[in-house]
Structure 1
């Protein structure tokens, strides 16, 4: 069945796509496309959210919020792709009305850490700080078995911050206070 599907559906669609023809369909797969930043279909897909006219969330119906949630991550990705495309074009000389290239924020750094350390030590100071190795590096240094023997009672994994994800996500659902309240009824 898989080979038949590949031969009758996938191969013809791939041949059309290679020629720049066929039906465009926006979705999660767009992240692999070379025209993802300028694709009209992906733009239309993401601009469907504009019909909510950026209303305050408390005025939207549950179904509308669910529609926005289902497209929010893709909308953010699309906007990022468009911004990156526009930046690359601007770096190549394209002028965008109302936009300009500027130098981004940067942080100071040493030209040579060795030279800095030598000069600070020469002045009578210790230029180094002592810091405990992180869990990954420590595990690598000790080995998994030895790490567990020595440190298992000194390592904890705190609960992660709640995140709203699609039902298809493999992680188990968290229980909320309303779940507990409904269980008592």
Structure 2
């Protein structure tokens, strides 16, 4: 019987949102929620696999727009401020629900989660989660790959090969800037393929 192989590939992407002209901007919350609920827990899973001496492997794409936001000092600062607000709110909920046991436990859980997220983000990774992903990349556990520069849907660009090439090449260039080497793979946005793309991918 022929052997089969399972390849786990995670795709990490968010549209670029950064508005320094506003003190608070609602759409930036997408990034903050993803950091708290996805990227920090993912890094903690990687760490627990290492502690348990599991010989694990995983592939993960990091889109250029997400990498740009995760490495941006303003958004890093605002994320910590966001967490501090959540920690304060959860603390008030602990007090408010002290006579409601079912909600009181939930308030404690969220308070602990937000405090833990702050500890990991600030003290463990110095406000830049790309450092965490790069650590496991360099260790040979996590295979990081890139994505098109702005997550452009490449089949819709078949009439302009230069636009397709710009999406692919800029994605590779940004990956190299953040992680120190060219990517060995790319996630096609929305899994969109058109004949001829393989030539551009091979060229990249």
**TM-score normalised by L of structure 2:** 0.25
Larger Rg: 1
Structure having the larger proportion of residues in strand = 2
Structure number with greater CO (CA < 8 Å, separation at least 6) is 2
**TM-score normalised by L of structure 1:** 0.27
